[in-house]
Amino acid sequence: MKSQINKMNQVLPQTQCGLCGYAGCFPYAKAITEGASILLCQPGGAQVAQKLKQITGSVELIDQEKMELKRTPVQVVDIDLDECIGCTKCLDVCPTDAIIGSHKMLHRVLEDQCNGCELCTQACPVDCMTMKPIDQSFDAFYAKRGEFKIRFDAKKKRQILQKDDYNRRHAKVKLKQATGDRTLAIRREQIQKWLNDEDK
Ligand code: SF4
Ligand code: SF4
Ligand code: SF4
């Protein structure tokens, strides 16, 4: 089952846009094995549905014309630099780390890394981001899915490390507040108490 999910994930476009109704490409691949339709990936359209059909042996009919109408165009985001307030909200949600900028600074997009998922436009509080279709074929966009996935996986890994780091630092502060400058023995005792409380 796991290898079938991975196989399906590999043929999905890796934009992580959520237009299929799931939290990303991998969750959608998993949902198909649990009975979800193979026709839900809007960036992938009929081409991707066909690949999913081959992998799963699904009997669902693929209406090429209908899927083409619903298909997301090949696009990238454009930032209105006069309006950007440098809030960094778009950085947090971008699955490919395609936006550069920092707090209270203008943000820019690395167009060749942008997969057109539109997640940043939904996060922007001042509506200064718009999608613009680009002159690139679906095949060329689709060929970049491996790269999009590498960037997405790297971002996820980094976020886990950042969270661990935050938790470690937070634990240190908490320990200092609870024990002040007292002895190591008292600190050990406090940690043991927390561990015991967690076990309950
Ligand atoms: S690219 Fe397709 S499968 Fe991936 S999240 Fe978007 S709609 Fe879902
Ligand atoms: S820049 Fe915006 S549209 Fe492009 S990949 Fe990142 S979140 Fe998606
Ligand atoms: S979310 Fe919008 S306003 Fe905030 S940094 Fe990004 S582009 Fe600028």
Flag residues of the chain having pLDDT under 50. Answer: none
Are residues 64 and 10 part of one domain? yes
Q: Which of 53, 70, 87 is the last residue of a domain?
A: 70
**Residue 192: phi, psi to the nearest 5?**
-60, -40
Helices 145-179 & 184-199, crossing angle to 10 degrees? 120
Ligand nearest to the CA of 151: 2
Are residues 182 and 125 part of one domain? no
C-alpha span between 28 and 5 (Å, rounded): 9
pLDDT of residue 174: 78
Q: Which domain holds residue 52?
A: 2-70
pLDDT of residue 171: 77
Residues 6+ away with beta carbon under 8 Å from 18: 24, 117, 119
Q: What is the pLDDT of residues 50-99, one digit of tens each?
A: 999 999 999 999 999 999 999 999 999 999 999 999 999 999 999 999 99
Ligand nearest to the CA of 131: 2
149 within domain boundaries:
no
Q: Which residue among 112, 115, 124, 155 has the greatest number of ligand 2 atoms within 8 angstroms of its CB, and so is best to mutate?
A: 115
pLDDT of residue 188: 79
Q: Which residue among 76, 141, 149 has the greatest number of ligand 2 atoms within 8 angstroms of its CB, and so is best to mutate?
A: 76
pLDDT of residue 198: 66
| Ligand 1 atom closest to residue 25's alpha carbon, by position in its atom list | 4
